[in-house]
Copies of this chain bind each other. A is one copy, B any other.
Amino acid sequence: MKIALAQIDTTVGDLRGNSEKILSALDEACRRGASLAVFPEQTLGGYPALDLWEEPGFAAANEKALAALAKKVRGTAALVGFVSRWKGKVGKPVRNSAALLHNGKVVAIRHKTLLPTYDVFDEARYFEPASENKPISWGGLKLGVTICEDAWAKDPSTSRRLYDIDPVAAQAKAGADLLLNLSASPFLRGKTEVRKKLLAEHAKRLKKPLFYCNAVGGNDEIVFDGGSLAYDAQGKLRARAAFAAEDLLGIDTKTWEGATVAPEPSAVGQVGEILTLGIKDFAGKCGLQTAFLGLSGGIDSAVAAALAVRALGPHRVVGVTMPSSYSSQGSLDDAQALAKNLGIELRTAPIAGVYDALVATLGDKWGKGTPDLAEQNLQARARGVILMGLANKAHRGFVLTTGNKSELAVGYCTLYGDMCGALAPLADAPKRLVYELAGWLNSDRQIIPSNSIAKAPSAELKPDQKDQDDLPPYDQVDDALEAWVQSRLEPGRVARAVGDRAVAETLLDRMDWSEFKRRQAPPSIKISSKAFGVGRRMPIAKAGWRVRAGL
């Protein structure tokens, strides 16, 4: 038998468009001679549809779209994900389901058993779990169908087990000949390796071939990286679909004909491709046309602009320099060099006039005494308003912020200033990773000017300012960020990672204190195990909690 892995990019809520995509992929699978095409989790309605899952009529519309789709499925069967109504009297009203469609009919329906409820996942909020799932008998075979988290009962990346049942093993025990998993597994750094280890282990331990179809594409903060996988009954990797792109593999389960292993980018290349796809899909799925970015001449804005150009093309990206009296000629030169390298339009809007008008309007306490953070915020906000103004006058224009995760972690950024934007592509990339991305972007030819990479980072909000005057070195910021936010180590271990107790304390305080800024930050693109955003839910009114808890 030939199985197709149909790795498609769906849009949340777009039942009609997603159905059309499924049918196109089925046509292609049929041309390749596949008997069965496996699609990603929640193929019909997209993942994550979040509160749409409990919206009146959404599950019923899913079932209706499924029935309509089934009528068009002929020779090649389709295993697609959708949301179904749970008819039981107690519990959540819907389930996360998969249906086998063939010859105009819905042949069988199965449901997800393990509902991830951590980080960006809220499935216990929405879904009633399956109580039991048996293999689907079809075409002389028993298909062991599971959905995403069902395969993660023993997550090799965590020491703790969340679940005491293993739905994939249960399928094998119930006699499944093939293991099929429909997934919507988001990218995060290192995830491709964890996934391979996990799935190889299932196939090897259970002695069954395993076909894993992952979603691909960005939905708000989450990007699915594709890389669908096939393993033989010895746990050997036989096929892998493209990374961060739509793909369709047709694989003979006996001879492994058609089983190709797509190349995987380097670690930093994966991040670059994911951010590119995240920007592209956010713009595409929101109907946005032209991205505006403030170009400071620094590395963050340069990398953000280069990723935007990869995602949208140079004609849909506009750079804007907004110099003040604190801006150096070097910064302007660097911004101009970048715009030239990228082939994008560059506009210039000096902020002096707006800044002076603001100070004149603000009255007594302004422009006298020693300037403080309020003066710096004012400059950042003048730039934010200018950028938004340019975007608002353009046809479907939008702003991309350029700040990185290290700044956002310690609150080295201005609400309604440099935090203005529809999407924050680098907000999950620590400063060190931004440098790595610059190297990756420059690997073919110089795009990011070498001066933007070499010079000391500066916000240029006061005379001769360097970030390092206001912050510990970024290496320490990043060490603290990774230890505290991502690895969730205790404060003592954060201090050891940073190498300096006092510096660590300052950084921990800043990270806690700046929660109010992050609550109003634009959506970022998740690339780490713990991004700021929907997957991290911290109270604002909790200042001093560590000290007052004795930590």
Which chain A residues have a beta carbon within 8 Å of chain B's beta carbons?
Answer: 11-17, 45-46, 48-52, 54-58, 61, 64-65, 89-93, 117-118, 122, 124-125, 160-164, 218-220, 281-282, 285-287, 347, 349-351, 353-354, 356-358, 360-363, 365-366, 372-374, 377-378, 381-382, 384-386, 388-390, 392-393, 415-416, 420, 422, 488-491, 516, 519-523, 534, 536-546, 548-551
Contact B420 A416, beta carbon cutoff 8 Å: yes
Contact A549 B393, beta carbon cutoff 8 Å: no
- Rounded to whole angstroms, the CA-CA distance of A417 and B491 in the bound complex is 38
Contact B161 A545, beta carbon cutoff 8 Å: no
Contact B541 A12, beta carbon cutoff 8 Å: yes
Chain B residues with CB below 8 A from A362, complex form: 349, 386, 389-390, 393
Chain B residues with CB below 8 A from A350, complex form: 361
- Rounded to whole angstroms, the CA-CA distance of A351 and B416 in the bound complex is 18
Contact B374 A392, beta carbon cutoff 8 Å: yes
Contact A422 B516, beta carbon cutoff 8 Å: yes
Distance (whole angstroms) from the CB of A19 to the closest CB of chain B: 10
Distance (whole angstroms) from the CB of A540 to the closest CB of chain B: 5
Contact B523 A490, beta carbon cutoff 8 Å: no
Contact B287 A543, beta carbon cutoff 8 Å: yes
Chain B residues with CB below 8 A from A12, complex form: 539, 541-542, 545
Chain B residues with CB below 8 A from A551, complex form: 57-58, 61
Tell which of B164, B287, B365, B389 touches A358, judged by Cβ atoms closer than 8 Å. Answer: B389
Distance (whole angstroms) from the CB of A273 to the closest CB of chain B: 19
Distance (whole angstroms) from the CB of A510 to the closest CB of chain B: 15
Distance (whole angstroms) from the CB of A322 to the closest CB of chain B: 9
Distance (whole angstroms) from the CB of A10 to the closest CB of chain B: 11
Contact B13 A548, beta carbon cutoff 8 Å: yes
Answer whether A389 and B378 are a contact pair too, CB < 8 Å, given A541-B11, A545-B52. yes
Answer whether A361 and B351 are a contact pair too, CB < 8 Å, given A13-B549, A537-B51, A549-B13. yes
Distance (whole angstroms) from the CB of A221 to the closest CB of chain B: 9
- Rounded to whole angstroms, the CA-CA distance of A45 and B382 in the bound complex is 40
Q: Which residue of B lies closest to A422 (CB)?
A: B516
Contact B374 A389, beta carbon cutoff 8 Å: yes
- Copies of this chain, complex-wide, total 2
Contact B516 A13, beta carbon cutoff 8 Å: no
- Rounded to whole angstroms, the CA-CA distance of A350 and B541 in the bound complex is 33
- Rounded to whole angstroms, the CA-CA distance of A455 and B238 in the bound complex is 72
Distance (whole angstroms) from the CB of A53 to the closest CB of chain B: 10
Chain B residues with CB below 8 A from A93, complex form: 160
- Rounded to whole angstroms, the CA-CA distance of A545 and B353 in the bound complex is 44
Distance (whole angstroms) from the CB of A454 to the closest CB of chain B: 31
Chain B residues with CB below 8 A from A347, complex form: 363
Distance (whole angstroms) from the CB of A278 to the closest CB of chain B: 11
Answer whether A91 and B14 are a contact pair too, CB < 8 Å, given A57-B549, A353-B357, A549-B58. no
Q: Which residue of B lies closest to A121 (CB)?
A: B125
- Rounded to whole angstroms, the CA-CA distance of A547 and B447 in the bound complex is 43
Chain B residues with CB below 8 A from A358, complex form: 354, 357, 385-386, 389
Contact B353 A361, beta carbon cutoff 8 Å: yes
- Rounded to whole angstroms, the CA-CA distance of A366 and B489 in the bound complex is 52
- Rounded to whole angstroms, the CA-CA distance of A287 and B512 in the bound complex is 14
Contact A377 B381, beta carbon cutoff 8 Å: no
Chain B residues with CB below 8 A from A389, complex form: 358, 362, 366, 374, 377-378, 381
Q: Which residue of B lies closest to A285 (CB)?
A: B541
- Rounded to whole angstroms, the CA-CA distance of A52 and B51 in the bound complex is 24
Most chain B CB within a 10 A radius of its CB, from A17, A366, A385, A521: A385
- Rounded to whole angstroms, the CA-CA distance of A227 and B489 in the bound complex is 39
Distance (whole angstroms) from the CB of A29 to the closest CB of chain B: 24
Distance (whole angstroms) from the CB of A87 to the closest CB of chain B: 12
6 residue pairs from A and B, CB less than 8 Å apart? A15-B550, A117-B124, A372-B393, A416-B420, A520-B522, A523-B540
- Rounded to whole angstroms, the CA-CA distance of A351 and B17 in the bound complex is 46
- Rounded to whole angstroms, the CA-CA distance of A388 and B520 in the bound complex is 15
Chain B residues with CB below 8 A from A546, complex form: 13
Chain B residues with CB below 8 A from A54, complex form: 488
Contact A91 B534, beta carbon cutoff 8 Å: no
Distance (whole angstroms) from the CB of A355 to the closest CB of chain B: 8
- Rounded to whole angstroms, the CA-CA distance of A548 and B551 in the bound complex is 51
Chain B residues with CB below 8 A from A537, complex form: 50-51, 122, 534
Distance (whole angstroms) from the CB of A182 to the closest CB of chain B: 20
- Rounded to whole angstroms, the CA-CA distance of A160 and B373 in the bound complex is 52
- Rounded to whole angstroms, the CA-CA distance of A548 and B15 in the bound complex is 6
Chain B residues with CB below 8 A from A365, complex form: 393
Q: Which residue of B lies closest to A13 (CB)?
A: B545
Most chain B CB within a 10 A radius of its CB, from A64, A160, A362, A378: A362
Contact B374 A393, beta carbon cutoff 8 Å: yes
Contact A13 B281, beta carbon cutoff 8 Å: no
Tell which of B286, B392, B488, B539 touches A541, judged by Cβ atoms closer than 8 Å. Answer: B286
- Rounded to whole angstroms, the CA-CA distance of A538 and B538 in the bound complex is 19
Chain B residues with CB below 8 A from A541, complex form: 11-12, 218-220, 281-282, 285-286
Q: Which residue of B lies closest to A62 (CB)?
A: B549
